[in-house]
Structure 1
Amino acid sequence: MRDLDETDLEILSMLTEDARRPFSEIGKKVGLTGPAVSDRVKRLQEAEIINRFTVDMNRGQLRAGIPVFVQFDNSKDVAEELRSRLSGASGIEHLFVTAEGKIWVYGRAEGQNVRNWIEGLLEDISADYSVTLVDDLEWAPSLEGTEFAITCAECGNTVDKEGESVRFDETVYHFCCGSCRGRFQERYQQLEQEA
């Protein structure tokens, strides 16, 4: 497996700013050709460093409700149920879980119905909450100081430059050493034969 380097970080940083930026434009800035950038992006996707490309919309231009930040003062015993209920719920855009197990969400609710919206999300879960209206939102992800840490598909250790990558049925798996790759491959082939 090849090492991930500063060029990969530069590519990621530029894609974070604008995921539709042409690979040829990125290539000019990092000293590569467009196809070479495309190959690197594909490897970053296979390594599950890039999971998806998305759109950052200016919600202020859309009628999507009032932006609110809600902090739930939930107990630990309802944290997982609350998280499950709020994850993917209509109007919820970001869900955070604090180290103490508290759930915080950023979402959009109809102006006159913020409390009704939250009460509807809670239903039978008992939790106090506070609502803060959000005036402005800025998302500025940074890769500064970031190091890549791909984990071994077999043992969970960090894969370094001594590691190996193997493709099985269109999925790329990363291993910290040949022994882990061998054990994983044996099990994979055995499961394939039994299927």
Structure 2
Amino acid sequence: MRDLDETDVHILQLLSDDARRPFSDISEAVGLSAPAVSDRIDRLREEGIIRRFTLDLDQSKLAGGTPVLVRLHVVPEHVDTVRNSLREADAVEHLFVSVDGEVTFHARFDDGTIRHALDEFVDFSLVREYDVQLVESAEWTPTVNGTEFALECAECGNSVTSEGESARIGGTLYHFCCSSCLGRFEDRYDRLEAGANTVDS
């Protein structure tokens, strides 16, 4: 498996500035042909580094309610439940969970309905305390500087380093931290596929 190199990082920086940038512009900036840039972007998508191309809307130019920053001090065993509930809420624009289990999110609510809106997607029996602040302005400037590949092994969940292995199994690309994990995964896949074929026969 190849490491994320400087060209990959440069491509990611260009796409983070403008996700609709033509391949011809990117190729000129990084010194590769447009088909080579396309291949690299396809690989970055396949490996899950690029998940989707999206819009960066300036909400201040749109009618959209009051921007707030909400901090929830969640009962530790319920952090995942609260996070999943917030992830589904249309009003929530950014969501963060700290290592100590504090859940913070940026959202927009209609004027005067903040507590009511929170009640719709936060179960306050799972929250110790909370704080709501009005947001004057917000900026979101993700960066790819200083990043490295951080893939998880499909077999054991450990981080995959440059010494790991990748394999296409059943049409899907998987990453493994070592050849042992790759072997175990392939064996299990083969057994499951053989069992499925037996049932179909």
TM-score by length of 2: 0.86
Large movers: runs of 4+ above 4 Å: none
Letter of the structure 2 residue corresponding to residue 59 of structure 1: Q
Instruction: Tell me the CA shift for residue 123 of structure 1.
Output: 4.8
Contact 2:23/2:38 (<8 A) preserved: yes
Contact 2:64/2:108 (<8 A) preserved: yes
Q: Deviations over 1:125-164 (max 9, x none)?
A: 2543221111111111112221213333234444344443
Letter of the structure 2 residue corresponding to residue 63 of structure 1: A
TM-score by length of 1: 0.89
Q: Which residue of 1 aligns with 2:31?
A: 31
Contact 2:3/2:149 (<8 A) preserved: no
Contact 2:161/2:177 (<8 A) preserved: yes
CA distance in 2, matches of 1:193, 1:56: 46
Instruction: Tell me the CA shift for residue 185 of structure 1.
Output: 1.5
Q: Deviations over 1:67-89 (max 9, x none)?
A: 11011233324433322322212
CA distance in 2, matches of 1:162, 1:175: 9
Structure 2, unaligned runs of 5 or more:
197-201
CA distance in 2, matches of 1:79, 1:159: 27
Q: Which residue of 2 aligns with 1:113?
A: 113
Counting only pairs closer than 5 Å after superposition, residues 43-122 of structure 1 correspond to structure 2 as 43-122=43-122
Q: % of aligned pairs identical?
A: 48
Contact 1:75/1:102 (<8 A) preserved: no
CA distance in 1, matches of 2:152, 2:78: 31
- Equivalent position SS for 1:115: helix
CA, structure 1 residues 27+75, in 2 after alignment: closer, same or farther (shift >3 Å)?
same
CA distance in 2, matches of 1:82, 1:146: 29
CA distance in 1, matches of 2:82, 2:14: 36
Instruction: Tell me the CA shift for residue 117 of structure 1.
Output: 1.5
- Equivalent position SS for 2:151: coil
CA distance in 1, matches of 2:102, 2:124: 17
Q: Which residue of 2 aligns with 1:165?
A: 166
Contact 2:73/2:101 (<8 A) preserved: no
Question: How many equivalent pairs are there?
Answer: 195
Q: State yes or no: 1:174 paired with 2:175.
A: yes
CA, structure 1 residues 191+78, in 2 after alignment: closer, same or farther (shift >3 Å)?
closer
CA distance in 2, matches of 1:186, 1:77: 35
Instruction: Tell me the CA shift for residue 8 of structure 1.
Output: 0.5
Instruction: Tell me the CA shift for residue 32 of structure 1.
Output: 0.3
CA distance in 2, matches of 1:89, 1:127: 21
Structure 1, unaligned runs of 5 or more:
none
Q: Which residue of 1 aligns with 2:19?
A: 19
